[in-house]
Amino acid sequence: MKKIELLAPVGNMEMLYQAVHHGADAVYLGGKDFGARKYSENFTNEELREVVRYAHLYDVKVYITVNTIVYEKEVESFLEYVSNLYAIHVDALIMQDLGMIALVREMFPDFCIHASTQMHNHNQEGARFLEKLGVSRVVLARELSLQEIGAIATPLEKEVFIHGALCVSYSGNCLFSSLIGGRSGNRGMCAGSCRLPYHLLEEEKRLKTEGEYLLSTKEFSSIAYLKEILASGIDSLKIEGRMKSAEYVGLVTSIYRKLIDKYYNHEELSFSEEEVHDLKKIFNRGFTKGFLNGADNKDLMNIKTPNHLGVVLGQVVEFDKRKIKIKLKEPLYQKDGIRFVDQGQGFLVNYLYDEKNRLIDHANDFVYLDNTIGIDSYTQVLKTFDSRLKERLDHYEKKRIPIAFKVVAKAQEGFQISITDFHHTFTSTIFSIDKAQKKATTKEEVQEKLLKIQDTPFYCKKIDFDMDKDLFIPMSLINRIRRSLVEQLLQSRYQDFREVKKQPLSMKSSHKPLTHEISIIVRNEEQLKVCLQEACDHIYVDDYALYLKYKSMSRVYYYLDRVNPKYVPYEKDHLLVSDLGALQKYSGFIMTSCYLNVVNSYTLNALLQYAYKVTLSVENDVESLKAMLTAYQNRYGYFANVDVIVYGKVDLMIMKYCPLNLLVNKEKTCCVCKNHKKYYLEDRKNEKYRILQKREITHIVHSKNIDLLDKIQWFKKQNITNYTILLLDETEEEIKNILKKVI
């Protein structure tokens, strides 16, 4: 039976040690570039080699995150980086960029690739697309339930997240940080826009909510649902946390390791209240069972705070300008971290006092602290850092690797010692051995010398002996042989550099002739009627019912949903799509939307195998557009048929979570989005982001229009001859004025 893999996050060497020695089967981590956690410590190329050697020593696999989009000017350095990862025996790459996956598959055909959750992997057809691409594993969207995952039939390995922070947006579909703060989530630089405060507006009216962090999710925890997950056929269980502490990695890994082992030993998957308490202390924003285990909006979100909650320590019962008195619910120790809820502030506790103002190192009932931050209320107090838990986790028992020895000592045959780790075997032979003149060497003496391996990663599981009784074997010889055999075994587990043999590129392309088209995406029937009277080539409708009403019109086509558990029947020739599964499902004149994150010529070429026209990412600037298109032309000898959004408000994120259902309709059967009122999120700068609901998916729309209408002539000089206009609330007059500038 193939056992399910436990996959742990690693952001530095101490996190690696915690993951390995607390039972991870594999770890995932990033180098200094191309990983989706740029602000984690990450590893240099030399450090990556040490990581791989150390992990492989303990039979732990290493997956490297190269799961960002890659700009044209970076392709050469990207391939050099991948070559190094191949050479040091990295087990797999976790990737997002479609073009880079195609390139790596062609140049390094035996390098395993895992399709990152950043690729928006959420349905059966998407998995089939990835199968053709040649990846070996699909990391599935966090929004999928166990039942939905089970319905995806694929030979690919399935990986899911089971614990840690959650993105509120479908991964790979968040432009919030990029377009608002200039830090792209698709480049590993997410600024955490979802953890900021927002107000909810109904038209111009600010609605009262119980908290202001309206996009902030709780922490995901699956320990109570692990039996069902383990029985589901999923191949790998992933813990989030490359930017958390080493102790976090150790604790979470150890708890899931214990439960997984219990499952395979046919034991009850029980866990203690103390373990849950420790999980809360190490990091939590409140826990949710996640969409994987059937969470609803209320279970998913903590809109009151985006911060680590820890556990309730106690209550302030007295205060003055000098001291605070706290009634404790659990012990407080020196060097613990605390936070006062009303003030939102806290500190590490350096000085504790008893009722006689004497310094103490811990307290169990009441404690006095210095009032250094001006506490002036009877506030609840949280413990957010437990120094004793950290100390316990820092003093873990190291994992040991089982080995066995075999000793043969025969007067006629010589002396031989073999060592094995049950995968590799090495033998040392001495062909001449003396008879004992006085005292013969005993098995016990040989065993004592062979067991001197405490300073190695090994432990001896057994020693087999076949020894004559009257032989003399020098102890120095046994020591020398043992050291040599142990070193050989270590080196066999480390693995030397792998020779890099890049395969030549086939230069395969699919030539799609240039078109000169103006496409308009409309939101309502009034806009549709206006556009039918204007000179545009394609009118895409994102409302399926409205599309069905007007599908007989020659220029009216469907703008497919961005999330598709199932695909709608579609028979017309043109279709606008935003996910890879749609490329697998449909044929005809397909245009891909800007949400497929095209920023290099290889991704462009990969999509042109399926689409006649590709919309480039809104994250491109003028220079990256020019570099991409020039590289494409130079490599293939013709211009790429591309499209750009020249006007409109794009989606900043798409979510399964519905803030209107949670905050307006209070989790009842929801009809808020049918009341024809406009709802917005308003940020600290008073920018308003429209909330739209489409087939149970929430779209958060940019507050500002992309407006590149003055660059039309520049686009034409770059042979960009197709333009898309994305409407929201524009009037008839505004639509006509926009079109005049494009035409």
| HEC-encoded secondary structure of 289-344 | CCHHHCCCHHHHECCCCCCCCCEEEEEEEEECCCEEEEEECCCEECCCEEEECCCC
pLDDT at 367 > cutoff 70: yes
> Residue for token digits 């939101």?
523
**Which candidate, 93, 84, 138, places its Cα nearest to that of 113?**
93
CA distance 375 to 286: 25
Q: Which residues contact 378 (CB under 8 A, 6 or more apart)?
A: 315, 316, 317, 319
**Which candidate, 623, 577, 570, places its Cα nearest to that of 599?**
623
**pLDDT, average across residues 241-247:** 95
| Per-residue pLDDT tens digits for 207-242 | 999 999 999 999 999 999 999 999 999 999 999 999
| Per-residue pLDDT tens digits for 248-258 | 999 999 999 99
CA distance 451 to 447: 6
- Local structure of residue 96 (DSSP, 8 states): -
CA distance 648 to 187: 23
Residues paired with 312 in a beta bridge = 382
CA distance 677 to 207: 13
- 39 — pLDDT class (breaks 50, 70, 90): low
Q: Which residues contact 320 (CB under 8 A, 6 or more apart)?
A: 371
Mean pLDDT of the chain: 94
Instruction: Give the number of other CB atoms < 10 A from CB of residue 59.
Output: 14
| Per-residue pLDDT tens digits for 296-307 | 999 999 999 999
Q: Which pLDDT score is estimated for 619? A: 97
| Per-residue pLDDT tens digits for 62-108 | 999 999 999 999 999 999 999 999 999 999 999 999 999 999 999 99
Q: Which pLDDT score is estimated for 36? A: 56
Percent of the chain topping pLDDT 90: 89
Hey, what are 717's tokens? Answer: 């000089």
**pLDDT, average across residues 318-332:** 97
Measured CA distances, 104 to 43, 83, 432, 733 (Å)? 21, 9, 54, 49
What domains does the chain contain, in order, with CATH numbers? 5-166+217-298 (3.20.20.70), 311-394 (2.40.30.10), 402-494 (no CATH), 518-742 (3.20.20)
E strand or H helix that includes residue 458 = strand 458-467
Of 50-64, 431-445, 533-547, which gets the smallest average pLDDT? Answer: 431-445
Residues paired with 316 in a beta bridge = 326
pLDDT at 635 > cutoff 90: yes
Q: Are 515 and 643 in contact (CB under 8 A)?
A: no
Quote the pTM value: 0.95
> Residue for token digits 């490329």?
583
Q: Which pLDDT score is estimated for 671? A: 65
**pLDDT, average across residues 507-532:** 94
Strands (E), 480-583: 518-522, 538-541, 556-559, 574-577
CA distance 402 to 211: 53
Q: Which pLDDT score is estimated for 674? A: 64
**Which candidate, 578, 569, 598, places its Cα nearest to that of 126?**
578
pLDDT at 353 > cutoff 70: yes
- 509 — pLDDT class (breaks 50, 70, 90): confident
Q: Which pLDDT score is estimated for 110? A: 93
**pLDDT, average across residues 481-499:** 90
Pair type for strands 26-30 and 287-288: unpaired
**pLDDT, average across residues 532-558:** 96
- 493 — pLDDT class (breaks 50, 70, 90): very high
CA distance 716 to 708: 13
| Per-residue pLDDT tens digits for 308-324 | 999 999 999 999 999 99
Q: Which pLDDT score is estimated for 497? A: 79
Q: Are 61 and 35 in contact (CB under 8 A)?
A: no
CA distance 671 to 668: 9
> Residue for token digits 């009441």?
366
**pLDDT, average across residues 160-183:** 95
Q: Which pLDDT score is estimated for 672? A: 65
Q: Are 357 and 390 in contact (CB under 8 A)?
A: no
Q: Which pLDDT score is estimated for 20? A: 98
Q: Are 120 and 141 in contact (CB under 8 A)?
A: yes
Instruction: Give the number of other CB atoms < 10 A from CB of residue 166.
Output: 24
Cα dihedral 305, 343, 190, 280 sign: negative
CA distance 300 to 66: 29
pLDDT at 496 > cutoff 80: no
pLDDT at 286 > cutoff 90: yes
**Which candidate, 301, 289, 231, places its Cα nearest to that of 259?**
231
> Residue for token digits 């989706």?
36
Q: Which pLDDT score is estimated for 665? A: 82
**pLDDT, average across residues 620-630:** 96
Task: Give Cα 244 distance to the centre of its chain.
Answer: 13
Q: How many CA atoms lie within 13 A of 675 on its CB side?
A: 12
Q: Are 514 and 718 in contact (CB under 8 A)?
A: no
Q: Which pLDDT score is estimated for 37? A: 66
**pLDDT, average across residues 350-366:** 96
